[in-house]
Amino acid sequence: MVFSSIIFLLYFLPLFLLVYHFIDRKYKNYLILFASIFFYAWGAPKFLFIIIGTTVLDFYIVNEIYKSSSEKRKKLFLSISVAIKIGLLAYFKYANFFVENLNSVMHSVGISQVEWTSVALPIGISFYTFQTITYSIDVYRKIHPPLEKVSDYLLYIMSFPQMIAGPIVRFNSIASQITNRRDHVDDRLIGFYRFSIGLAKKVLIANVMAEQADLVFNNELSGVSTSTAWIGILAYTFQIYFDFSGYSDMAIGLGKMMGFTFPENFDSPYISRSISEFWRRWHMTLGTFMKDYLYIPLGGNKVSSKYRLYLNLWIVFLISGLWHGASWNFILWGAYHGLFLILDRLFLIKLLNKAGRIASTLFTFFIVMMGWVIFRLESIDSIGIYLNHLFSFQNNLEFETIPAFKLILVLALIFSFITAFNFGKKLSQFFFESNIYKSHQHILFTIASVILYVLCISSITSSGFNPFIYFRF
């Protein structure tokens, strides 16, 4: 079950909201937890007990961190807590990758290969791991005391709005809301608006872009023309943005309907004027996590030499790439972005500032697009072939598109770049940053949201094409 599925939109969500808003306040958290367990079990029942079991175990380990008077004992329990989480992630997400590469090396030197049964990947394991890490470390750092009830901790970790596809919700940003949050009709309505916008991003834009991208990337790449290659990467560029930001919007909206305030995850990343700015705007919760829990512990900006600084940046982005999936192309994608972050610090930002707003934005967008080629194609050979076709300028006018692609591409371009202009910023603030609306605004937004909701359901049922791209996460 995913947010854009008919079972969720017509059955799960309406029933959940109906019960949630009539149930007594003291039972609301239990209802969310029950719904979250049901939601996760629907798609991955065999992993449910592993997730619940390790979460419960971690709850008591972190309590020992908090209660321990000895710093040595605190560090011991913190190490145990983090080791369990990283170990779980390493086994389920990276064991297959490690064994496959080990066998490849062993085969090349004539050594017998390791017998191995592939491990299935639990959905959302990366988001689960990072959120549990923030809990352990924030408690250790005394940023916030631990939760008193194991059910509240399970709720924080397994909350269905954000467990599968983010955003990464840091414990200290939501701890107080778990036990004490407001429940106001304005929040419910604003949450519904935000959910509907996110759903429309995913279904009406990202799905169309995905169908076009699949038409290009899933065929024989050797026969792809230059124009078709550009169509394919444009489609994928907007697919991944509107899909991911759409899911983040839906998660934020669902949280708002329950009284939670989840952090923003995207801020018009394609208007960025450098790769450094892009990573301040793209998947912001991952960027914040990497900064606070990896980059700063490595020394951050306070290291003794520029070379160590650049190495730290590269390490962070190599790990960020690997976080996205157990494949060499993700590591290469991380290294690619890490390289441009280093170049930014060396000379590139100064050069782009001199080039002006339009030129720097177009250059950054181009660099990001080339990165998406690496991200999308697993084979290094395939990446090379595709990049070659982008710049070979052969069969330049031959391309095939699905019927709705051109119209949706125009809309995707408008919605991606409109905030580069002042009126676009004001419009975005009005839709995404307002917390209070007047009565006539509520009426207007409710009508618009219901229309979007119905259009999305109609699109899902009529097309049957509704991909979910977060199985690797």
Tokens read off for 232: 């394919």
Instruction: Name every residue whose Cβ is closer than 8 Å to that of residue 301 and which is 6 or more positions away in sequence.
Output: 309
**CB 147, CB 176: distance < 8 Å:** no
Residue 131: closest CA among 108, 90, 163, 104: 163
Q: How confident is the model at residue 108, as a pLDDT?
A: 79
Q: How confident is the model at residue 399, as a pLDDT?
A: 66
**CB 352, CB 274: distance < 8 Å:** yes
Q: In 291-356, which residue ranges form alpha helices assigned H by DSSP?
A: 306-324, 328-343, 349-355
Segment 196-226, tens digit of pLDDT: 999 999 999 999 999 999 999 988 888 788 8
Segment 70-88, tens digit of pLDDT: 899 999 999 999 999 999 8
Query: Mean per-residue pLDDT for 360-380?
Result: 95
58-95 exposure pattern, b = at least 16 Cβ within 10 A, e = fewer: bbebbbbbeebeeeeebeebbebbbebbeebbeebbee
Least confident of 294-298, 424-428, 449-453: 424-428
Q: How confident is the model at residue 366, as a pLDDT?
A: 97
- Looking at the chain, the whole-number percentage of residues with pLDDT higher than 70 is 97
Measured distance CA(276)–CA(324) in Å, rounded: 19
Least confident of 67-71, 110-114, 246-250, 349-353: 110-114
Confidence of residue 395 (pLDDT cuts 50, 70, 90): low
Q: How confident is the model at residue 425, as a pLDDT?
A: 82
DSSP 438: -
What global pTM score does this model have?
Answer: 0.92
Measured distance CA(232)–CA(219) in Å, rounded: 11
The ranges assigned to domains in the chain are 6-180, 187-463
Query: Mean per-residue pLDDT for 45-72?
Result: 90
What mean pLDDT value characterizes the chain?
89
Q: Catalytic residues, which ones?
A: 324
For the chain, how long is the longest CA-to-CA vector?
74
Instruction: Name every residue whose Cβ is closer than 8 Å to that of residue 143 and which is 6 or more positions away in sequence.
Output: 172
**CB 322, CB 316: distance < 8 Å:** no
Segment 288-317, tens digit of pLDDT: 989 988 888 888 788 878 888 899 999 999
Measured distance CA(292)–CA(272) in Å, rounded: 22
Measured distance CA(169)–CA(265) in Å, rounded: 10
**CB 257, CB 21: distance < 8 Å:** no
**CB 278, CB 368: distance < 8 Å:** yes
Q: How confident is the model at residue 31, as a pLDDT?
A: 95
Q: How confident is the model at residue 464, as a pLDDT?
A: 80
Residue 365: closest CA among 230, 171, 456: 230
Tokens read off for 114: 């390791």
Measured distance CA(431)–CA(438) in Å, rounded: 13
Query: Mean per-residue pLDDT for 351-372?
Result: 95
Residue 282: closest CA among 331, 320, 251: 320
Q: How confident is the model at residue 192, as a pLDDT?
A: 93
The alpha carbon dihedral of 161, 166, 171, 173 has a sign of negative
Say if residue 438's pLDDT is above 80.
Answer: no
Q: How confident is the model at residue 396, as a pLDDT?
A: 56
Least confident of 23-27, 106-110, 155-159, 462-466: 106-110
Say if residue 112's pLDDT is above 90.
Answer: no
